[in-house]
Structure 1
Amino acid sequence: MAISFLRTLILYATIIIALRLMGKRQVGELEPSELVVTILISELAAIPMQDVTVSLFAGVIPILTLISLEILISFLCLKNRRLRRVFNGRAAVIIQNGKLNRKKMADLRLTTDEVMEALRQKNIASPAEVKCAVIEPSGQLSYVLYPKSQPVTASMLDLDPPQQGLPLIVVSDGKPILGNLRQLGLEISDIEKRIRKARIPSLSEVFLMTLDDCGNEFIQRKEV
């Protein structure tokens, strides 16, 4: 039992490190080559986890080999556009000027139901609202709407709203996040002043506080 537990921990750590080395995203955003590597890694890890008679290196070495190969291919794809298309494919325009591209849909084996479902997931009611829509190599749908179908923006209404920045967590469960404070050029004393201004006695009573580089803040006090 202890051996199986230890082998599982080692393989788990190896897979986590391997995927971190790939430096990639969510499963739905993986390129085809990355998805293949991810599936193969899971299969390779499962064998030595389930069968203690199989050498641990029989799983670790192939996993490291696959990751090294994927990193090498990623580097080569950065340098060579043709090679990038071979491994990752290319984007395909499936809607142009409000009309579905039947040829591209056939090439990708996409049905009209699947295209309409993808549009609904983007809160688009009809292809007529779309000037251009593209299926990315990752399978995600990117699109550009006609101006009349685009959401209203402040510039369209000649408004000048307050500036917004990227909110960073500066306090979490009563503890300051020093790295984010340094990024904002602030000290703990600066945060404490803001907290007292919000009529909260101490830092330890703050459940969450975010702050951006424009001075916009959000503070939620711990519930009693």
Structure 2
Amino acid sequence: IPPKAMEGTDTAQLLALIAANMTLEDIAQDSGGLIDKSRTSIILGVASATELTAHMAGRLQRPAWVNAMRQAGLAESQVQDIARRISDHYVDWQEATFPGLLGNVIAGRIANRFDLTGSNYVTDAACGSSLAALQIALHELRSGDSDTVLTGGVDALNDILMFMCFSKTPALSVSGDCRPFSSRSDGWQRHGHLQPRTSRSGPGLETCVRTSRV
């Protein structure tokens, strides 16, 4: 990814590339470098939204800032200067921004970067997305459509928007201590994660699922 395009690429995509590289290196080490890329798929559970989506949407609110400042009686030169200063807190829109902010591009970006020509797609089942992806990956192996599947969950959406959404639901733990199996449970805590799994099968090889976490 060119340096300029990096700022237009969501963190989830970048972390997924790192995790995929680590996982493929593990596979190569375990298999003596033998991996059929034409039969290697990527199926990931993701969040539909990304941090970069909210960030870039915020940049588009310039008309609202300008209108509010004009209503407050600021001189037009001040209005434009302040609006420019606010815009400078956001990254610029560029050609790479649209694919860079899409959660459904994560699997395709991995496939493209590592030349994996099996299936590549994502699934969104909310908090069950990674398990949904794993289930589909196992079906992919059982059907014989793939020999190796990179699967798991990718979620780096840990910004103030999500905390606001869940606090107003309300779903966030008031105490900050979830206690999920306790009668004193008072809510939920959010955290981002990247948890790739490698599922493999083949002649004489039982389906093997290896788990790592970034």
Q: In which range does the TM-score fall when normalised by the shorter chain?
A: under 0.3
Larger Rg: 1
Length-normalised TM-score, structure 1? 0.20
More helix by share: 1
Length-normalised TM-score, structure 2? 0.21
